[in-house]
Amino acid sequence: MHIASQACFPLAYGAARALRNCAMALVFATTAAAAEPQTLVALGDSLTAGYGLPPEEGFVPQLQNWLNAKGKDVTIINAGVSGDTTAGGLARLDWSLTPETDAMIVNLGGNDLLRGLDPASSRANLDAILSKASERDLPVLLVGLEAPSNYGPAFKQAFDAMYPELAEQYGADLDTNFFAPLTAELDIAAARQKYLQADGIHPSAEGVAVIVEAIGPQVEKLLERAAD
């Protein structure tokens, strides 16, 4: 605004020239502000961190490249920590969200699921994360997972429901199941063979590419929300 304020003073140039300079300065300032890159924080566990993959083939780098190819001027902060639970994500949320943060992806709950933690506890942690994001007026894309049936129907119902219900409560965008794109055209056995690493849990580089292609448009919409 320093440039604009100088141009708006008539001084000896006359009122007409001052108005022209003022208008040009305001346009320049608005354009410069609009051109500022966005910052997107990806808060998650090993699925976000890129466990088992070369650094350039993980979820965040592949999503970064996808968005760059779409002309998006955004920097994604990889706030994924392998082994983290929803409680761990909540514990480090405050320092993960830098002042420059414009939007956030939340992809947590997989380790809660693997450990059989009470879905009520997982839900409370995600609730707190979304609440803090809401306090900062940050748009969020909440990425869900689905519990297998071997945990029992009550566990599965509670776990699966927490993502859409919290997204609706906080007005967050929702990706219902991180792994769903892998079985869009293949059965589970074939998808596991083609798209997962040897551990049968984490996606391979090819699997990540399929996931990014599916989730990318939702991230684009998230960034558009953040720019409004």
Give yes or no: residues 48 and 9 share one domain. Answer: no
Q: Which domain holds residue 15?
A: 1-35
List the chain pLDDT tens, one digit each, 228 residues: 333 333 332 334 344 444 454 444 444 444 444 558 999 999 999 999 999 999 999 999 999 999 999 999 999 999 999 999 999 999 999 999 999 999 999 999 999 999 999 999 999 999 999 999 999 999 999 999 999 999 999 999 999 999 999 999 999 999 999 999 999 999 999 999 999 999 999 999 999 999 999 999 999 999 999 999
* Closest residue by Cα to residue 63 from 72, 129, 185, 118: 72
* Closest residue by Cα to residue 40 from 90, 96, 89, 91: 96
Give yes or no: residues 43 and 17 share one domain. Answer: no
Give yes or no: residues 31 and 73 share one domain. Answer: no
Distance, in Å, from the CA atom of 162 to the CA atom of 63, rounded to the nearest integer, reads 25
Predicted TM-score (pTM) of the model is 0.85
Q: What H or E segment, with its residue span, contains residue 75? A: strand 74-80
Maximum separation of any 2 CA atoms in the chain, in Å: 81
**What is the model's pLDDT at position 10?**
35
Give yes or no: residues 58 and 9 share one domain. Answer: no
**What is the model's pLDDT at position 35?**
58
* Closest residue by Cα to residue 18 from 10, 6, 27, 30: 10
Residue with tokens 């480090």: 92
Give yes or no: residues 142 and 101 share one domain. Answer: yes
Give yes or no: residues 15 and 67 share one domain. Answer: no
Specify the CATH number for the domain of residue 115.
3.40.50.1110
Give yes or no: residues 16 and 43 share one domain. Answer: no
**What is the model's pLDDT at position 36?**
84
Give the residue numbers marked as catalytic.
46, 199, 202
Give yes or no: residues 48 and 123 share one domain. Answer: yes
Give yes or no: residues 30 and 68 share one domain. Answer: no
